Structure 1
Amino acid sequence: MQARPGALQVGSFRGVPIRVHFTLLLVLPLLAFSFGAAFQQAASAAEVPPETLGGHPLLWGLGVAVGLFVSVLLHEMAHTLYALRHGGEVHGITLMIVGGVSELAETPKRPRDEALMALVGPLTSLGLAVVLGLMTWLMHGLGAFQWQFACFTLAMLNLVLGLFNLLPAFPMDGGRIVRAALTPRLGVVKATRVAAGLGRVFAVLFGVWGVVSFNPFTLVIAFFVLMGAEAESKQVRMRVALERVKVEAMMTPRVVGVDLDLSMLDAQWALRRERVAALPVTNAGRPVGRVTWAAVQALPEPERGGRMVRDAMEDGVVVALHEDGWTALRRMAEARVPLVAVVDEEGLLAGTLDWNDLQRGMNRAEQEAERDGTRAGWQRERPA
């Protein structure tokens, strides 16, 4: 889907943008302070004399915080690499306050593929933990205390990262594995509901532990786990509902847009008449872009009559009558547009589709599914 708001691109991997969310900047000092406070205990666990480690504990804490998010990046890159090698499309990797997320264009259709793609991330983290742990062991007795401490700390971070992501609850990778295992028997909606429910349970447990231990970072994790579980459940419910409905059944019929050669003043009156924020721009009945109310308002009123629509129009998005609502929603989200033009078999404008149309279509699909389920249940319970 679209890039997350508040994220800044810092690089790319195989053509996939890598972004850092602003919340990461908020948590780095917190992690640095937390680790700095536990510096003595960490050195003792690594079997390293604290006095041999140069630098202030807070600097070590900042280094560990950065190392954690590098580990998270490698974890997400493993997901991305698996998806790309199996024909998937990834729109970006975003590093956030509680880890990272790979933004897939579409969840794998086969449960087995979803489970394997979810599994490669934790396996990468656990593999790094093993390699770094082995390096720590090899350094014992060599006097390379700083390297020994760094390797030990990163090994522990990757161990925790791998095990945390294997928790059987959304939004962790373990939740996706649970859903993949349950989908063949329960269907994707019920399987998602179970995994999201487990996510809520873990969120409560994290929250209680955060309060008891006076750990604000654990409370933050609890909040984001809860939000992630809710978002995943909502998205799957929306996808399943919209996949059942064709665009033709949801669109607002519209065979006339704003012609390419009209003025922006004409576009202004068309937008007012239709009471919409955007309309397709057409050329010989075929959509070639869109004109928005914002573009009209950007022009001083005296200039609108002399400015042509073709000079102010923006790129548009098109869907066909026979495509489903989920496909339309994905295209809208990826292009960040509030409406799409619907075309018939000949490429002529047949209507428009916006979020309100999609919402109504989703509500109808869910009501029909509920009625069908109630009717099926009544037939099963009716005596022979």
Structure 2
Amino acid sequence: MSFKIATVKGIPIHISVTFLLVFLLFAFIFAITGWPFGFRYVEPPIARYTLACLTTALFFVTLLIHELAHSLLASSYGAKIQSITLFFFGGISAIENPEDEKNLDPSKELNISLAGPLSNIIIGIVLLGINYFVYGSILGVADVTNWVAEGITVFTYNIPTMIFLLGTLNLLLGFFNILPIYPMDGGRVLRAWLAKRHSYEEATNTAVSIGKGFSIILAIISILAFQWWLAILALFLYISASEEGKMFKATTILEDIIVKDIMSTDVLTVDESLSLTDFITFVFQKKHPGYPVTKNGIVIGVVTVDDARFVNEAERYAFTVKDVMKEVVSVKPEDTALEAFNQMGQHAVGRVVVLDEEGKMVGLISRSDLMTAIYLKDSFKEKSKTDMNSF
């Protein structure tokens, strides 16, 4: 779950609910950590926690700059960015059409992948440079003993610590992101480099394998050093690499499948005038959660059980499916199954209607249809490999 907070250069910026949780965690850590990595000695407490929250907010602004660097450069290369979302472990830039990423020249993908980490490294160097030239030390103060002993309470005197923290975190973020762990930026740089020498599929699979290997190494080192948070992050990166690998495999398979080959043609529909009470009964009889809604034989929307649930049970008799239906999301019979998959993701729906050139419904394709097609195609592919290896 996420909500929009702004739009930058036409790109919607969203914040995930998980992001708010980690924001509070970071602010708390900064508040209880001693100088120079926190504000533990600042009094009164309200000043301490205000500084911690402000530093956390500014740090996440730099995370946003990181994602914007990726997105704006990708846009300049012709890719359309759907949105940027800040979540628990950072941020993600969503490309509206995933095929744009696959069609990018490897050199351009390398530039896009490096843009984020470089932005953080530059921010870190600039901030630490400001501390050095303005306050006489990278840490921000020349006399550490006096700074702590006097228990400075003036808000502005703690700005050097804030600058040092932000600079250090950005440098760490920049260098950490260039580790060759897919799907982090370093992993994408590795894939772009490999894609210059091998096929895109081979490059991705190799980058995923190397990323998983580095995640395991990072986890082992973290556990031996009793750095449990870093170990958890390594586990998260391993899972992310695995999921990215599965997603790439699925989209590659869907690229080779045509919608008309897997769509359901015997599609049940409901008339726009059907009451929600009768619709619920219909659903129990037919055992499907969603149906196209028609008016005089023309599809005008799609309705699901979840749509009907928003209406109080006692009032459903007074509402029709037209009152709660959603707009039609459609594909053409000649489109690839990947296009159907992308449409489902962009519109957050579980099924899309298949319309011919004249706008007439010729079929329906659901998420389960896509999953079944992926499973069958992959199974036969693996079986073919096994049969070939047996000779």
> Could you say which residue in structure 1 is the equivalent of 2:145?
none
Shift of residue 244 of structure 1? 0.6
Tell whether the 8 Å contact from 2:275 to 2:316 is kept in structure 1 after alignment. Answer: no
Distance in 1 of aligned mates of 2:324 and 2:20:
38
> Could you say which residue in structure 2 is the equivalent of 1:163?
175
Shift of residue 271 of structure 1? 3.4
Distance in 2 of aligned mates of 1:247 and 1:369:
19
Question: What SS does the aligned partner of 1:114 have?
Answer: helix
Instruction: Give the percent of matched residue pairs that are identical in Structure 1 and Structure 2.
Output: 28
Distance in 2 of aligned mates of 1:128 and 1:11:
22
1:106 maps to 2:97: yes
> Could you say which residue in structure 1 is the equivalent of 2:78?
87
- Deviation string 1:303-331 (CA, Å, 9 cap, x unpaired) is 64x64443332222111100111110111
1:24 to 19, 28, 41: 19
2:301 to 271, 282, 289: 289
Distance in 2 of aligned mates of 1:29 and 1:314:
37
> Could you say which residue in structure 1 is the equivalent of 2:153?
none
Q: 1:106 to 1:169 in 2, by over 3 A?
A: farther
> Could you say which residue in structure 2 is the equivalent of 1:126?
121
> Could you say which residue in structure 2 is the equivalent of 1:74?
65
Listed as ranges, the gaps of 5+ residues in structure 1 are 44-49
Amino acid at match of 1:92: S
Shift of residue 284 of structure 1? 4.2
1:362 maps to 2:357: no
Tell whether the 8 Å contact from 1:342 to 1:353 is kept in structure 2 after alignment. Answer: yes
Amino acid at match of 2:215: A
Tell whether the 8 Å contact from 1:36 to 1:61 is kept in structure 2 after alignment. Answer: yes
1:65 maps to 2:56: yes
Structure 1 window deviating more from structure 2 (267-276 vs 314-323): it is 267-276
> Could you say which residue in structure 2 is the equivalent of 1:47?
none
Question: What SS does the aligned partner of 2:35 have?
Answer: helix
Distance in 2 of aligned mates of 1:29 and 1:193:
37
Distance in 1 of aligned mates of 2:24 and 2:314:
50
Distance in 2 of aligned mates of 1:67 and 1:310:
47
Structure 1 window deviating more from structure 2 (205-214 vs 336-345): it is 205-214
Q: 1:300 to 1:94 in 2, by over 3 A?
A: closer
Shift of residue 97 of structure 1? 2.5
Listed as ranges, the gaps of 5+ residues in structure 2 are 142-155
User: What is the 5 A alignment of 1:225-244?
Assistant: 225-244=237-256
Shift of residue 218 of structure 1? 1.4
Tell whether the 8 Å contact from 2:255 to 2:336 is kept in structure 1 after alignment. Answer: yes
**TM-score of the two chains, using structure 2 as the length reference:** 0.81
Amino acid at match of 2:108: D
Distance in 1 of aligned mates of 2:35 and 2:279:
69
Q: 1:206 to 1:30 in 2, by over 3 A?
A: farther
> Could you say which residue in structure 2 is the equivalent of 1:46?
none
Tell whether the 8 Å contact from 2:36 to 2:161 is kept in structure 1 after alignment. Answer: no
Question: What SS does the aligned partner of 1:40 have?
Answer: coil
Q: 1:73 to 1:133 in 2, by over 3 A?
A: same
Shift of residue 339 of structure 1? 1.0
Q: 1:310 to 1:8 in 2, by over 3 A?
A: closer
User: What is the 5 A alignment of 1:176-195?
Assistant: 176-195=188-207
**TM-score of the two chains, using structure 1 as the length reference:** 0.82
Tell whether the 8 Å contact from 1:19 to 1:92 is kept in structure 2 after alignment. Answer: yes
- Deviation string 1:194-230 (CA, Å, 9 cap, x unpaired) is 2222322333233334333433431332232122212
1:319 maps to 2:319: no
Q: 1:167 to 1:150 in 2, by over 3 A?
A: same
Distance in 1 of aligned mates of 2:31 and 2:268:
65
Q: 1:94 to 1:187 in 2, by over 3 A?
A: same
- Deviation string 1:141-175 (CA, Å, 9 cap, x unpaired) is 49796444333332221111111111111121011
Tell whether the 8 Å contact from 2:178 to 2:184 is kept in structure 1 after alignment. Answer: yes
Amino acid at match of 1:76: E
1:219 to 211, 217, 231: 231
Distance in 2 of aligned mates of 1:337 and 1:51:
51
Q: 1:132 to 1:365 in 2, by over 3 A?
A: same
Distance in 2 of aligned mates of 1:312 and 1:38:
52
Q: 1:359 to 1:196 in 2, by over 3 A?
A: same
